[in-house]
Amino acid sequence: MRERRALNPLLTTELLAALDASPVDARDAHQRKLHRLSRVCGCGEGAIGALTLAALVMWRFLHTFAGWSPGGVASLVGQLFVAFLIGGLSGKFLGLAIARARLRALRSRILREAAQPRN
């Protein structure tokens, strides 16, 4: 078995040995999923979170609009900045947490399949 470096602490030598012992078609599918899940950055979820909060800020602003003023514009810009920051970070962390949970579930499934006797 050739040596592989783990990109993620969940990708242990036990998991790699279980992958090597699995049938070729299952191994390829599991390797693709492991590769995809170990490289998730949460950017898509972060963008969704940022845009959602920014849309809520804009919706509230448009429904309470009383006219343009320098203070109102500055307030809107500040609220949008905070909405993008909080929405983006919370979405990113949520995306990373979901990917990690899916990676753990896939790891458990691979180890469970490897422990079952083959007929």
In angstroms, the CA 118 to CA 113 distance is 9
Quote the pLDDT of residue 49.
Answer: 94
Query: What is the band of 11 on the pLDDT scale with cuts at 50, 70, 90?
Result: low
- pLDDT tens digits for 59-94? 999 888 878 888 888 999 999 999 999 999 999 999
Amino acid at 84: F
Quote the pLDDT of residue 1.
Answer: 40
4 belongs to a structural domain: no
In angstroms, the CA 119 to CA 114 distance is 13
66 belongs to a structural domain: yes
Residue 21 CA, distance from chain mean position: 29
- Domain residues for the domain of 100 are 13-115
8 belongs to a structural domain: no
3 belongs to a structural domain: no
Tell me the percentage of the chain whose pLDDT exceeds 70: 89
Domain count, the chain: 1
Please name the residue ranges forming H helices in 3-42. 13-21, 24-38
Q: Is it the case that residue 2 has pLDDT exceeding 50?
A: no
Prediction pTM value? 0.75
Quote the pLDDT of residue 111.
Answer: 87
47 belongs to a structural domain: yes
Query: What is the band of 119 on the pLDDT scale with cuts at 50, 70, 90?
Result: low
